[in-house]
Amino acid sequence: MAEVTVRDVSRFYGNHAVLQDVSIDFPDGGFYGLLGPSGSGKTTLLRIIAGFDSPDSGSIAIGGADVVGAPVQDRRIGMVFQNYALFPNMSVAGNVAFGLSVRGIPKAEMSRRVSEALDLVQLGGLGGRRPHQLSGGQRQRVALARAIVTRPRVLLLDEPLSALDKALRVGMQVELKRIQREVGITTIFVTHDQEEALTMSDRIGILRDGRLEQEGPPAELYDNPVSEFAATFLGDANIFRGRRANGCLQLEDGTRLRCRSALPVTAEGTAACAVRPERISLSPLDASGPAEAADGDNRLSARVAKRIFAGNSISYLLDWQGGPLKVFAQNTGSPPIEEGAAVILTWTAESTLPLG
DSSP sequence for 114-171: HHHHHHHTT-TT-TTS-GGGS-HHHHHHHHHHHHHTT--SEEEEESTTTTS-HHHHHH
pLDDT of residue 146: 94
CA distances from residue 300 to 158, 230, 305 in whole angstroms, order as listed: 43, 24, 15
For 236-355, the fitting CATH number among 1.10.10.10, 2.40.50.140, 3.30.70.100, 1.10.150.670 is 2.40.50.140
Q: What stretches in the chain show pLDDT beneath 50?
A: 289-295
List, for residues 48-87, the tens digit of each pLDDT value: 999 999 999 999 999 999 999 999 988 999 999 888 889 9
User: Domain 4-223 is classified in which CATH homologous superfamily?
Assistant: P-loop containing nucleotide triphosphate hydrolases (3.40.50.300)
Residue 72 has what DSSP assignment? G
What percent of the chain shows pLDDT beyond 90?
74
List, for residues 244-291, the tens digit of each pLDDT value: 888 899 999 889 999 998 888 776 778 999 999 999 999 998 755 444
What is the rounded distance in angstroms from the CA atom of residue 214 to the CA atom of residue 14? 26
Q: Residue 299 in contact with residue 344, Cβ under 8 Å?
A: yes
Q: Residue 200 in contact with residue 24, Cβ under 8 Å?
A: no
DSSP E strand boundaries for the chain:
4-13, 16-26, 31-35, 57-62, 65-66, 77-80, 154-158, 186-191, 203-208, 211-216, 238-245, 248-250, 256-258, 270-275, 281-284, 299-309, 313-320, 323-330, 342-346, 352-355
pTM for this prediction: 0.88
pLDDT of residue 290: 47
Q: Residue 222 in contact with residue 274, Cβ under 8 Å?
A: no
The full set of domain ranges for the chain reads 4-223, 236-355
pLDDT of residue 1: 62
